């Protein structure tokens, strides 16, 4: 991605306008510059069309004419074979707009989407069988990664914007790809609006209803999940006691941070589970497990890492990247002598290990010990820690083997395992359309 130097304008009265050079964003840039605010026009050169260089020059000229600062980024690369050109361009554009606004220190970005864009989005989503979130279309205001994406004209008819542009003698670009019938949105434009010229308002209103329904469903799911779930476990018995629509709503909300579950999977989860059943469903990026009446998410584990040497003789958090978790080492009154933790071998469970939970408890097979501790089957693979004499020291999810405990008068360290999901997470991306 090549970017022209973005002017740094950090100031509370500066707004950025996503400026394609088309009719709508030209009118929006014009209005913004006349509002008294300082304005930064941001243009993305997709590098897809032969005229794109001329458009960037045009946009810079118009921005200067209106008294706005200007920045442009040229996207690098190209859509992969079989990828949607529109999706590739949208994703690159979002990133470029976000980065340019960030570089300028601006936190408000205006987009010129209007009522007809919203109506088209609603129709396209409906034709794909979208749920409420898709039918809700584009939000008017949305904070994402520290930038506020705002669409002030989302409820304005296109004709009004066109009339404004003509009245002020504005010049704008006509993108020939807007007429390309290979793109679904263009086909829809060419067929629906001539046949149903007044449908725009109704469809945009339908999107607003969907936004409201979506907000309500999120509220109900929030209440249900507060009673029935943690991020790690959803109470399936409690879920089954809800009405079908409410159960599906709560289930989808619980699944969302873990996996993009298709509707068919949500349906299967709701119909196939029976009290007490141990079940597993493959899902994008991992697996869902029903175990002891709880639903659990397990990331695709892949193969276990090979045995490795680890030194846990110092207190602190020791991440084990291949194992998606970390050993936490803390001083304790019942634990293991540090010297013994200096040369450990970490490896996956082999099958024949034995484990002693507490000093006076019986020695058990590791499988039995896992069952007794309620450690679910998909978390029993390890890692396991062994000392230099190949004696079992600790098992992730179970804890330390009591046979490894140090004598009372020695300095002792306790080991416990933390899954990555229990460690502080970074925020995930959210979707929008520009
Ligand atoms: N290349 C781009 N550079 C900067 N912003 C863009 C670009 N393309 C689209 N946008 C922003 O997204 C909005 C919606 O995009 P869309 O593709 O519907 O518009 P357009 O047909 O390119 O132009 P316009 O909406 O200005 O008539 C634009 O109004 C503009 O704010």
* Residue-level pLDDT at 68: 97
* Residue-level pLDDT at 429: 38
In this predicted structure, the answer to whether residue 299 has a pLDDT above a threshold of 90 is no
Residue 20 assigned as binding residue: yes
Q: What is the pLDDT of residues 65-99, one digit of tens each?
A: 999 999 999 999 888 888 888 889 999 999 999 99
In this predicted structure, the answer to whether residue 177 has a pLDDT above a threshold of 90 is no
- Ligand 1 pocket residue status of 93, Cβ below 6 Å: yes
ipTM score here?
0.95
- Ligand 1 pocket residue status of 32, Cβ below 6 Å: no
* Residue-level pLDDT at 432: 40
- The answer to whether the pTM exceeds 0.80 is no
* Residue-level pLDDT at 294: 96
- Ligand 1 pocket residue status of 117, Cβ below 6 Å: yes
- Ligand 1 pocket residue status of 16, Cβ below 6 Å: no
Residue 21 assigned as binding residue: yes
Query: How far, in Å, from the CA of 215 to the mean position of ligand 1?
Result: 27
In this predicted structure, the answer to whether residue 5 has a pLDDT above a threshold of 80 is no
Q: Can you tell me the mean pLDDT for 176-200?
A: 89
In this predicted structure, the answer to whether residue 13 has a pLDDT above a threshold of 80 is no
Residue 294 assigned as binding residue: no
In this predicted structure, the answer to whether residue 10 has a pLDDT above a threshold of 60 is no
Query: How far, in Å, from the CA of 90 to the mean position of ligand 1?
Result: 10
Residue 198 assigned as binding residue: no
> Whose Cα sits closest to atom 12 in ligand 1?
434
- Split at pLDDT 50, 70, 90, the class of 22 is very high
- Ligand 1 pocket residue status of 184, Cβ below 6 Å: no
Q: What is the pLDDT of residues 356-405, one digit of tens each?
A: 999 889 999 999 999 899 888 888 888 999 999 999 999 999 999 999 99
Residue 24 assigned as binding residue: yes
- Split at pLDDT 50, 70, 90, the class of 424 is low
Query: How far, in Å, from the CA of 411 to the mean position of ligand 1?
Result: 66
Q: Can you tell me the mean pLDDT for 182-193?
A: 90
- Ligand 1 pocket residue status of 111, Cβ below 6 Å: yes
Query: How far, in Å, from the CA of 44 to the mean position of ligand 1?
Result: 9
Which ligand 1 atom sits closest to the C-alpha of 45?
1
- Ligand 1 pocket residue status of 116, Cβ below 6 Å: no
* Residue-level pLDDT at 1: 58
- Ligand 1 pocket residue status of 22, Cβ below 6 Å: yes
365 φ, ψ (degrees, to nearest 5): -65, 150
* Residue-level pLDDT at 168: 97
Query: How far, in Å, from the CA of 113 to the mean position of ligand 1?
Result: 8
In this predicted structure, the answer to whether residue 427 has a pLDDT above a threshold of 90 is no
Residue 22 assigned as binding residue: yes
In this predicted structure, the answer to whether residue 27 has a pLDDT above a threshold of 60 is yes
Domains of the chain, with CATH numbers?
2-203 (3.40.50.620), 232-299 (3.30.465), 308-422 (no CATH)
> Whose Cα sits closest to atom 9 in ligand 1?
20
Q: What is the pLDDT of residues 208-217, one digit of tens each?
A: 999 999 999 9
- Ligand 1 pocket residue status of 30, Cβ below 6 Å: no
């Amino acid at each position: 991605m090549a970017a022209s130097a973005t002017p740094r304008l950090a100031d509370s009265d500066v707004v950025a306008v996503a400026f394609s050079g088309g009719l709508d964003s030209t009118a929006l840039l014009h209005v913004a510059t006349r509002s008294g605010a300082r304005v930064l026009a941001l243009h993305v050169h997709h590098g897809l069309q032969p005229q794109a260089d001329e458009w960037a020059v045009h946009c810079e000229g118009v921005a200067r004419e209106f008294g706005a600062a200007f920045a442009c980024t040229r996207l690098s690369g190209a859509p992969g074979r079989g990828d949607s050109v529109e999706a590739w361009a949208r994703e690159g554009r979002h990133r470029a707009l976000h980065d340019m606004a960030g570089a300028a220190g601006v936190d408000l970005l205006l987009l010129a989407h209007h009522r007809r864009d919203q109506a088209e989005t609603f129709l396209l989503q409906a034709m794909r069988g979208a749920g409420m979130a898709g039918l809700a279309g584009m939000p008017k205001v949305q904070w994402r990664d520290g930038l506020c994406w705002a669409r002030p004209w989302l409820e304005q008819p296109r004709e009004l914007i066109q009339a404004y542009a003509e009245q002020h003698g504005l010049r704008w670009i006509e993108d020939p790809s807007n007429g390309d019938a290979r793109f679904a949105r263009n086909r829809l434009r060419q067929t629906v609006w001539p046949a149903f010229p007044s449908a725009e308002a109704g469809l945009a209103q339908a999107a607003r209803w969907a936004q409201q329904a979506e907000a309500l469903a999120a509220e109900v799911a929030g209440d249900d999940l507060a009673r029935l779930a943690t991020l790690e476990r959803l109470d399936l018995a409690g879920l089954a006691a809800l009405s079908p629509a409410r159960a599906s709503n709560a289930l989808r909300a619980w699944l969302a941070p873990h996996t993009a579950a298709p509707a068919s999977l949500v349906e299967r989860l709701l119909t196939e589970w029976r009290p007490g059943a141990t079940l597993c469903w493959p899902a994008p990026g991992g697996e869902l497990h029903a175990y002891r009446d709880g639903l659990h998410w397990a990331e695709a584990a892949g193969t276990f890492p090979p045995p490795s040497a680890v030194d846990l003789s110092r207190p602190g958090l020791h991440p084990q990247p291949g194992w998606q978790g970390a050993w936490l080492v803390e001083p304790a009154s019942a634990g293991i002598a540090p010297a013994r933790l200096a040369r450990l071998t970490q490896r996956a469970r082999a099958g024949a290990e034995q484990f002693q939970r507490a000093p006076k408890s019986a020695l058990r097979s590791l499988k039995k010990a896992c069952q007794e501790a309620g450690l679910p089957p998909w978390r029993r693979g390890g890692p396991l820690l062994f000392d230099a004499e190949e004696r079992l020291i600790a098992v992730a999810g179970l804890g330390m083997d009591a046979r490894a405990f140090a004598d009372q008068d020695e300095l002792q360290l306790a080991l416990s395992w933390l899954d990555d999901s229990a460690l502080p997470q970074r925020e995930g991306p959210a979707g929008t359309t520009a």
